Structure 1
Amino acid sequence: MTKPLSSRLASLVFSVLAAFAPLAGATDKIRIVTEELPPYNMTLDGQLTGMSTEVVRAVLEEIDVDADIQSMPWARAYDTALNSENVLIYSIIRTPQRENLFKWVGVIAPTNWHLYSLAERTIQLTDLDQARQYQIATVKEDAGEQYLIANGFAIGKNLQSSNKYEHNYEKLKFRRVDLWVSNELNASYLVRQAGEDPAKMLVSALSLPELGGNGGSGLNMAFGPKTSNAVVERFRKGLAAIRSNGTYDAIAKKWL
């Protein structure tokens, strides 16, 4: 016996809603975590801002997703995203050590890394091995620290780990360390915030192009492995859209 038209329409509507319910429910519960990494992500006057933050918010608007962004120490943000479902993390570098740990959305900001020394105490290195004799300031679980550890450096031996980036410029300035591994924009910003000229205070002892990241040089958005591919793909499409419609370039022009 054929079902009445109204019954068939009701069944069809239910099927469509059921098909989209998992994705809708998942995106409704997205959490976003980051750290204080000026000028990419930072809190000013109680509000999160920065180039990467603006890009993330533009993606959220593009895909019509509402999500809160929390700033916390990097090690905590990293662990939260890695071990939780539907948690987006930024600004994260796509290193070989992290490649299979996360589901990568895409690059949201450029980055260039160096080992810095004070200009008044210039240290010039021709390779990373020469840095082993020096004390180096790092941030716990960030890409610079992970990179150095992967290359045989060790916390407590030649690495001094902090929870905040600004602590490392202070360590370098007051000669509690010899070198500082840092992103170029972050280093310049922190020196200027201290009222000083980066060109007069810092010298690159060694460029670290390996820290530009896989999948295109830059800082990324990513989800942990527990997040569904459908959610990740929705964010990828949102990022691609703001790159193609000019929104990304407008944001970058403000900050770079």
Structure 2
Amino acid sequence: MHLRVLMALCLCFGLYSTSFAAPTIAVYASPNPPFNLREKGLVQGLAFDLLEASLATIRPRFSQEEIHLAPWKEVYDEALKHPTSFLISASRLKERESFFQWVGPIATVRLGVITKRGMEIPKGKNSLEILQNLKIATIKETSAEKVLFKEIGENNSLNITRVSTPLQGYKMLEYGRVDALVYTDLPFVYHLVNENQDVTQYKMAHVLLNTDYYIAAGKEIPKEQITIMQSQLNRLKEPDAQGSSMYERIMARYFKGAVLNP
């Protein structure tokens, strides 16, 4: 009798402990509005909308406790350590291909050199020649910075200021502290739209790479789940009776149809 009571107490205690255990991090993201951002205390954004849409028939919505928002290098390293998690939004670069399973694309982006409309940059055979006489800002550890440094080398003669956040880079360009910002077009467009600025006053002066953002899924997530996620994301992009897709309407909420032209 005493043994049965003891076992029952242990079982109850085990269930109690499990119910109050810290939740497992399921999503890693770095601040990259509108894809990933914290607003009114909540982590949210375009990438979360699309991630949850792709998982709509598989699991409930993510709780805030399941989401970790931190600088890119930190969340990238953490996602690699936790192969049952998701990393958003990730450029599908060649050196990352084998580390994840990929769902997407969730957006097509251009990595490149953004300037004000009146800024004329020199012609050249490569980025080193084109950017030689410009004051440039890059955001540390981002895909755009990595692509630039891969082309020109980290030991180069360019006048580059590396900043920690996209907002720092935006403001440096806006206030004329730099001539150019090396970054991604859609996050920059969202910043301008959100600040009620005129997107036509800026341009993508030089493209380093055309690429896509994806949901990077851990290697231990079942392949059957990845297939379902891809199928549901594809369905979002199919035109409906109104002649547009749910995907297009989601994108319009964030970008209002604005585009960063050459």
In which range does the TM-score fall when normalised by the shorter chain? Answer: 0.7 to 0.9
Q: How is 1:49-128 mapped onto 2 (pairs within 5 angstroms)?
A: 49-64=44-59, 67=62, 68-126=66-124, 127-128=126-127
> Which is bigger in relative contact order (C-alpha 8 A, separation at least 6)?
1
Q: How is 1:8-19 mapped onto 2 (pairs within 5 angstroms)?
A: none
**Residues 30 and 151 (structure 1 numbering): CA distance in 2 closer, same or farther, change over 3 Å?**
same
1:243 aligns with 2:234: yes
- The alpha carbon displacement at 1:141 in A equals 1.6
Q: Given that residues 82 and 223 in structure 1 are in contact (C-alpha distance below 8 angstroms), is that contact kept between their aligned partners in structure 2?
A: no
Q: Deviations over 1:16-36 (max 9, x none)?
A: xxxxxxxxxxxx956101122
- The alpha carbon displacement at 1:139 in A equals 1.9
TM-score (norm 2): 0.72
Runs of 4+ in 1 over 3 A off after TM superposition: 124-127, 155-159, 192-195, 245-249
Match of 1:130 in 2: 129
Match of 2:181 in 1: 180
Match of 1:7 in 2: none
Question: How far apart in 2 are the matches of 1:152 and 1:246?
Answer: 37
Question: How far apart in 1 are the matches of 2:42 and 2:183?
Answer: 24
Among residues 41, 46, 53, which one is paired with 1:46 in the alignment?
41
**Residues 49 and 30 (structure 1 numbering): CA distance in 2 closer, same or farther, change over 3 Å?**
closer
Q: Deviations over 1:3-62 (max 9, x none)?
A: xxxxxxxxxxxxxxxxxxxxxxxxx95610112222222222223333221011112322
Q: Deviations over 1:124-167 (max 9, x none)?
A: 54542323413332222211011112112428963332221111
**Residues 167 and 233 (structure 1 numbering): CA distance in 2 closer, same or farther, change over 3 Å?**
farther
Question: How far apart in 1 are the matches of 2:238 and 2:139?
Answer: 31
Gaps of 5+ in 2: 1-22, 240-244, 253-262
Question: How far apart in 2 are the matches of 1:102 and 1:155?
Answer: 30
Q: Given that residues 47 and 106 in structure 2 are in contact (C-alpha distance below 8 angstroms), is that contact kept between their aligned partners in structure 1?
A: yes
**Residues 148 and 38 (structure 1 numbering): CA distance in 2 closer, same or farther, change over 3 Å?**
same
Q: Given that residues 155 and 161 in structure 1 are in contact (C-alpha distance below 8 angstroms), is that contact kept between their aligned partners in structure 2?
A: no
Question: How far apart in 2 are the matches of 1:211 and 1:153?
Answer: 20
Q: How many residues align?
A: 219
Given residue 47 of structure 1, which amino acid in structure 2 is its aligned partner?
L
What's the % identity of the aligned pairs? 22
**Residues 242 and 180 (structure 1 numbering): CA distance in 2 closer, same or farther, change over 3 Å?**
same
TM-score (norm 1): 0.73
Given residue 88 of structure 2, which amino acid in structure 1 is its aligned partner?
Y
Give secondary structure in 1 for the equivalent of 2:34: coil
Question: How far apart in 2 are the matches of 1:157 and 1:76?
Answer: 29
Match of 1:142 in 2: 142
Deviates more, 1:237-246 or 1:151-160: 151-160
**Residues 178 and 236 (structure 1 numbering): CA distance in 2 closer, same or farther, change over 3 Å?**
farther
**Residues 63 and 48 (structure 1 numbering): CA distance in 2 closer, same or farther, change over 3 Å?**
same
Deviates more, 1:238-247 or 1:72-81: 238-247
Give secondary structure in 2 for the equivalent of 1:110: strand
**Residues 245 and 78 (structure 1 numbering): CA distance in 2 closer, same or farther, change over 3 Å?**
closer
Question: How far apart in 2 are the matches of 1:246 and 1:205?
Answer: 30
Question: How far apart in 2 are the matches of 1:96 and 1:111?
Answer: 16
